[in-house]
Amino acid sequence: TGGQRIEQLARARVEDFDADTQCLRLRDPKGKRTSPRIHDVPLIPEALAAMQAMHGGAVGPFVFTVTGGQTGVAYKTLGGYMRAIYAAMLGAGEVEKGAFTPGDLRRTVETRLAALGIGKDVRGQLQSHGLGGVQARHYDRHDYAQEKRAALEALHHLLTGTGATVTPIKR
């Protein structure tokens, strides 16, 4: 999904997904705002498939889940899954010593998108940060849906395309 905050994803409910636009509507309460900012994230086909797989055929109300939709996944729970994956990767010699966290994923997505030439404005729109200035609040009404989708497709290609490599993250 582009490195969204786990807390935002955990709050997302089935009714927050718009099948027509293929976007997931998140609410960003971060910062000095009285009501959360609406943040639409386009989902590429692989993200849609993952979203459906998380539910395993269940119909619970939460989208980003490990309980068939009954609850949204907590940062701590996701971190536990990531620790298990890290341990397996370490045992297979795929990574060096030094665990990674869900926050590392967000930072890595931002960094990799920058390396792909995705501009700071589009990265900010995708990850919902740096959008509180006068220009964004009063003048720029563009939804950036196409640009966000293109950034996600470029990221997906980087991760799955020919020549994709895993680079150890050092603290």
- Which ranges of the chain would DSSP assign to H, the alpha helix? 6-11, 45-55, 75-91, 102-115, 120-127, 134, 145-160
Q: CA 107 to CA 2: how far, in whole Å?
A: 10
Q: Can you give the pTM of this predicted structure?
A: 0.81
Least confident of 36-40, 53-57, 110-114, 134-138: 134-138
Least confident of 40-44, 70-74, 101-105, 127-131: 127-131
Please state the separation of Cα 26 from the chain's center in Å: 11
Query: Exposed (0-12), middle (13-18) or buried (19+): which is 109, by Cβ within 10 Å?
Result: buried
pLDDT at 43: 95
Q: CA 150 to CA 157: how far, in whole Å?
A: 10
pLDDT at 137: 65
pLDDT digits (tens, 9 = 90+) for 92-108: 998 888 778 888 889 99
pLDDT at 138: 66
Please state the separation of Cα 141 from the chain's center in Å: 23
Rounded mean pLDDT of 77-92?
Answer: 91
The residue with greater pLDDT, 38 or 149, is 149
